[in-house]
């Protein structure tokens, strides 16, 4: 359930009509619902009730500081995958001891940053990374809390670009080699083993792959304990999927996902950490856009919006579906007809949907992309020198612009023209 509903024929975010936000912030603009974010976070607290646990929201899904601060105020920890995200989490008020540092290519600078400023654990993904972390921590006179991310070789049955738990993926250490790596970790200076980490992919719509992966983690936990390691914590990653189309079957509920956790690892007495991102932020946000033109083509019509692939790349990157709805509800008997919904970017890939059945829409009308709260704004770029979309957070009947659209001056000021250009008299052809 989310908080984007029609009232009196107008789509609202909580108690705010979306046309009001468009008038104040312009379009394209991401709009997030604080109540939906809180509700989704709360579902995981319920799902894991009775187990010692920490929900570490995955920052890369939606890293706006207001969103992070809202999550942090509700008690969430954070899962970060870069020094930049670690800084965001800290800037949002998350204490270091609630920040988990994941990612396959942490640099020594990033390790030092987190060791200095506070970190709950590093999820280590390779032996070279483990050795580098040992050196950095020992040189600083610190101890790095470590979980090794194991790759359980489980098929997450999701889009190939977001599956991470098969042996051919770049992530983690093959689970068969985990005992060796833990033995090395235990012997290295500056390293303290605290647990095991696994994350098998994103947008999973079945529980079976989780069940298979967590069962393997439970088996490994027993083996590592027998080897003398202190396995106090299990980080089970994120990945629970969301419904992107109103017509689809709903993916498993957080409560049932919690059931899988209880069944597979509940008896180990470990503290459970999870890293949900999409399932918290995805349906807590929409992308608000305006129709620029309706173009009648040869056998197909194009609805050209002021949002483009640089704002929301998921359709072109993952062939993702987003429901697209008019902000003013159509008449109940309005006809629907197929249109290609596209943006203004000079790429054929800048297509959000082909042959989408929509009611009549005209230049100036507002539309909303549903389920755009995760991997939307965070994956945006300024391709075609299009300013990043604004972001708005709604709270009841109130909204704040939580990231202003940059001005063109801001954008141009980031580049520098070197002084020699246009002053060098020798034409390239005569150079030696």
332-337 long-range contacts, Cβ below 8 Å, gap at least 24?
Answer: 334/359, 334/360, 335/359, 335/360, 337/301
Minimum separation from the CB atom of position 235 to ligand PLP (A): 8
Q: Which of 401, 370, 371 is nearest to 388 (CA)?
A: 401
Contact 76, 279 (CB under 8 A): no
Minimum separation from the CB atom of position 297 to ligand PLP (A): 36
Contact 43, 36 (CB under 8 A): no
- Interacting residues with ligand PLP (CB under 6 A): 58, 60-61, 79, 81, 102, 199, 202, 237-239, 275-279, 374
Which of residues 193 and 274 has its CB atom nearest to ligand PLP in the complex? 274
- Region for 109 from its dihedrals, namely left if φ exceeds 0, alpha if ψ lies in -120 to 50, beta otherwise: alpha
Which of residues 27 and 64 has its CB atom nearest to ligand PLP in the complex? 64
Minimum separation from the CB atom of position 171 to ligand PLP (A): 8
Residue 30 phi/psi, 5-degree rounding, is: -80, 135
Contacts of 422 (CB under 8 A, 6+ apart): none
Contacts of 241 (CB under 8 A, 6+ apart): 158, 202, 203, 204, 205, 251, 252, 278, 279
Minimum separation from the CB atom of position 282 to ligand PLP (A): 8
Which of residues 81 and 194 has its CB atom nearest to ligand PLP in the complex? 81
* Rounded-to-5 percentages of helix, strand, coil across the chain: 35, 25, 40
Minimum separation from the CB atom of position 280 to ligand PLP (A): 8
Which of residues 156 and 341 has its CB atom nearest to ligand PLP in the complex? 156
Contacts of 385 (CB under 8 A, 6+ apart): 408, 411
Minimum separation from the CB atom of position 295 to ligand PLP (A): 35
Catalytic residue selected from 187, 250, 346, 429: 346
User: Is residue 44 helix, strand or coil?
Assistant: helix
Minimum separation from the CB atom of position 35 to ligand PLP (A): 20
What does the alpha-carbon distance between residue 133 and residue 128 come to, in Å, rounded to a whole number?
9
Which of residues 102 and 283 has its CB atom nearest to ligand PLP in the complex? 102
What does the alpha-carbon distance between residue 288 and residue 269 come to, in Å, rounded to a whole number?
45
Which of residues 182 and 375 has its CB atom nearest to ligand PLP in the complex? 375
Which of residues 39 and 356 has its CB atom nearest to ligand PLP in the complex? 39
What does the alpha-carbon distance between residue 126 and residue 102 come to, in Å, rounded to a whole number?
12
User: Is residue 421 helix, strand or coil?
Assistant: coil
Contact 192, 233 (CB under 8 A): no
What does the alpha-carbon distance between residue 430 and residue 310 come to, in Å, rounded to a whole number?
42
Residue 56 annotated among the catalytic residues of the structure: no
CA distances from 417 to 121, 174, 273, 381, 406 (A): 43, 48, 48, 22, 21
Tell me: cis bond preceding 324? Omega within 30 of 0 counts: no
Which of residues 61 and 345 has its CB atom nearest to ligand PLP in the complex? 61
Minimum separation from the CB atom of position 278 to ligand PLP (A): 3
Which residues have a catalytic role annotated?
346
């Amino acid at each position: 359930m989310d908080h984007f509903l029609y009232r009196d024929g107008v789509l609202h975010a909580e108690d705010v009509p979306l046309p009001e936000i468009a008038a104040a912030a312009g379009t394209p603009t991401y709009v997030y619902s604080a109540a939906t974010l809180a509700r989704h976070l709360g579902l995981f607290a319920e799902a894991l009730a009775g187990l010692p646990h920490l929900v570490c929201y995955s920052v890369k899904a939606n890293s706006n500081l207001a969103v992070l601060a809202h999550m942090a105020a509700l008690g969430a920890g954070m899962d970060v995958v870069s020094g930049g995200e670690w800084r965001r989490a800290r800037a949002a008020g998350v204490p270091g001891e609630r920040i988990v540092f994941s990612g396959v290519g942490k640099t020594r600078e990033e390790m030092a940053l987190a060791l200095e400023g506070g970190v709950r654990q590093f999820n280590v993904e390779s032996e070279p990374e483990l050795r580098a972390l040992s050196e950095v921590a020992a040189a600083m006179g610190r101890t790095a809390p470590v979980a090794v991310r194991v790759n359980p070789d489980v098929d997450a049955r999701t889009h190939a670009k977001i599956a991470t738990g098969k042996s051919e993926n770049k992530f983690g250490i093959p689970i068969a080699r985990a005992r060796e790596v833990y033995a090395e970790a235990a012997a290295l200076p500056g390293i303290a083993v605290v647990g095991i980490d696994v994350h098998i992919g994103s947008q999973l719509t079945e529980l079976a792959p989780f069940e298979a992966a967590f069962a393997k983690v439970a088996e490994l936990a027993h083996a590592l304990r027998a080897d003398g390691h202190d396995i106090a914590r299990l980080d089970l990653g994120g990945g629970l999927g969301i419904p992107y189309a109103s017509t689809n079957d709903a993916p498993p509920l957080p409560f049932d996902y919690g059931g899988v956790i209880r069944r597979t690892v509940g008896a180990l007495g470990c503290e459970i950490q999870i890293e949900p991102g999409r399932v918290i932020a995805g349906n807590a946000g929409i992308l608000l856009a305006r129709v620029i033109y309706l173009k009648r083509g040869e056998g197909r019509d194009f609805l050209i919006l002021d949002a483009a692939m640089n704002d929301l790349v998921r359709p072109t990157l993952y062939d993702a579906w987003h429901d697209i709805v008019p902000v003013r509800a159509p008449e109940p008997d309005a006809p629907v007809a197929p249109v290609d919904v596209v943006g203004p970017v000079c790429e054929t890939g800048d297509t959000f949907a082909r042959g989408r059945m929509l009611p009549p829409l005209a230049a100036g009308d507002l539309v909303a992309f549903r389920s755009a709260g995760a991997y939307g704004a965070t994956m945006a770029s300024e391709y075609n020198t299009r300013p990043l979309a604004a972001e708005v957070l709604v709270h009841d009947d109130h909204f704040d612009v939580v990231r202003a659209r940059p001005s063109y001056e801001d954008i141009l000021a980031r580049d520098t023209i070197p002084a020699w250009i246009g002053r060098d008299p020798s034409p390239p052809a005569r150079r030696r």
